[in-house]
Amino acid sequence: MSDQVHASPTASAQTLRALARHPSRIAFSWPGGSLTYQGATELIGRIQNVFVRLGFPPGSRVALLTTNRADTWCAGVAAQLSRLAITWLHPLGSLEDQLFQIADSEAVLLVVDAAGFRDRGGELAAPAPGLKMIFTMGAAPYGKDLLAAAEAGGTGSPRCLASADDVATLNYTGGTTGKSKGALRYHRQYVGIAGGILADFEIPRAPRFLAVAPISHVAGTKVLPTLMLGGTVHMLKGFDPDAVLRTIERERINFTLLVPTMIYVLLDHPALPMTDLSSLDLVLYGASPMSPSRLVEGIDRIGPVFSQLYGQSECYPVSVLRKADHDPRKQELFLSCGFPVAACDVRILDENDQEVKTGEAGEICVRGPYVMAEYWKRPDITVETLKNGWLHTGDVARKDERGYMFILDRKKDMIVSGGFNIFPREVEDVLSQHADVAMVAVIGVPDEKWGEAVTAVVVPREGANPDANELIELVKARKGSAHAPKQIKFARELPMTGVGKVDKKVLRAGFWAGRERMVG
């Protein structure tokens, strides 16, 4: 029997409560329009009327493919209020990946942003036999216009029909080390995310949040905290540096979330020196490490506003590197993924799930209220990942005396070269500090002598011409000869996943074609 007295509200109920508090304020703004808190509440109620009439069983999956739009965010809330579970398709994902997610999640309903994904929506609808209904946000040659249906259905106050035991989300992992997996959460695991963010992230008390990165992923976790604080979410449908700079200046944006590559583009943009960014109070970054030299440049040119987040689909947030930790005079912390958040128990464990000594390498393991319940339809990997009461993140790290964590690498990315275990992140951290290096990724490639040869793929800074031998000697001096790359390859860009991580699967593929990758 569940303990009702100590139950938490669902995140959907939290959303309705936040929207009810400031009815006349602007909840969402975008180029050409806005929506008040009351307007969002009413839209959620009308869309919920449509969903409830469909009569789908509790837990049925609703897949959403959209750019950053207030109405599709409202549709997601309406689905969860109605005991349906949402699964966001990645807006930058391939057709194959999106079809896999629809099929794997067993989605019965697809909601498509007709303006942003008109053609892709049609491609998804045709070969997906499990779908029973397709809604479009706006008119399209397929499906039914959800906004028109909601308008025709009349008004209605939204109500939370979901309980803690209903499935809330099925979020798919980035798939950088293998096939994407669905991390499933019930409402009881989903509800704590907003509170964890509000407790440990330095979000301004009157937030004006600019959503540039997709709200289908980590940027979306900042929407509810912004509304709970009575703020406004300003939405852009994609990363356009001109639009980002103009919006920050015009709307006095004080809070945004960017991946490092976006920050690099802004720093190199000719309009940056002429743009008033004085309103910015917090720039969160994550998904991949940021070059220390570029971070110093960002602090110098934009201000001491940077804060790094760390987490994953299976648990977010895990740790944060706050603004005060970004001190150009103490750059050693720039390589840290931060200090564990208060809501989670975070430890670094060895292969036997025993805590390692300070400074020793081990796996970041987490337990807390918003850790996923399971991998959908993957009981084997669920048991392995959640063994002994810990979520095993797959990230190898060490911690210092104060508890700050330093990620060494993904366990699966470890290189075995000449009998030594090499973590690519350690080599990348050295190379990324060179002034001529814009981005770098280190992988192991097959080698008859070494087993795997440490290979660095370097994207030079614009106008720079780094010397390969100089870079190799730099690593040798800092880390020793075993870590030094056997070769440096220069590239114009690195393959990236849709969430801004370097896709090492793609990077390794050319070197490992026809071979089975060796592991330690």
Provide the CATH number for the domain around residue 429.
Answer: 3.30.300.30
> pLDDT tens for residues 37-83?
999 999 999 999 999 999 999 999 999 999 999 999 999 999 999 99
* Least confident piece of the model among 247-261, 477-491, 502-516: 502-516
What residues form DSSP beta bridges with 516? Answer: none
Give the H or E element holding residue 209.
Answer: strand 208-211
Q: Do 181 and 287 share a domain, yes or no?
A: no
Q: Do 259 and 399 share a domain, yes or no?
A: yes
The pTM of this model reads 0.83
The pLDDT of residue 519:
34
As given in the structure block, the two tokens for residue 424 are 């690519």
* CATH classification at residue 56: 3.40.50.980
**DSSP codes of every residue in 491-506:** -S---B-TTS-B-HHH
3 within some domain: no
Q: Do 357 and 228 share a domain, yes or no?
A: yes
pLDDT band, very low/low/confident/very high, at 7 (cuts 50, 70, 90): confident
74 within some domain: yes
16 within some domain: no
* Cβ contacts of 389 within 8 Å, gap of 6 or more: 367
The pLDDT of residue 411:
65
> pLDDT tens for residues 81-138?
999 999 999 888 888 888 999 999 999 999 999 999 999 999 998 777 789 999 999 9
8-state DSSP, 509: H
The amino acid at residue 65 is L
Q: Do 174 and 233 share a domain, yes or no?
A: no
Q: Do 293 and 400 share a domain, yes or no?
A: yes
Question: Between 158 and 420, whose confidence is greater?
Answer: 158
Say how far apart CA 166 and CA 86 lie, in whole Å. Answer: 12
Provide the number of structural domains found in the chain: 3
Question: Between 221 and 447, whose confidence is greater?
Answer: 221
* Least confident piece of the model among 1-5, 246-250, 338-342, 378-382: 1-5
Q: What percent of the chain has pLDDT over 70?
A: 94
Q: Do 177 and 227 share a domain, yes or no?
A: no
Q: Do 47 and 153 share a domain, yes or no?
A: yes
- The 3-state secondary structure of 158-169 reads CCCCCCCCCEEE
28 within some domain: no
Q: Do 348 and 495 share a domain, yes or no?
A: no
Mean predicted lDDT score pLDDT of the chain: 89
Helix (H, G, I), strand (E, B) or coil at 408: strand
Say how far apart CA 399 and CA 377 lie, in whole Å. Answer: 34
pLDDT band, very low/low/confident/very high, at 418 (cuts 50, 70, 90): low
Of 387, 410, 433, which residue is a domain's last? 410
Of 185, 200, 227, which residue is a domain's last? 185
Which residues form the domain of 85?
A: 37-185
Q: Do 297 and 381 share a domain, yes or no?
A: yes
Rg of the chain over all Cα atoms, to the nearest angstrom: 23
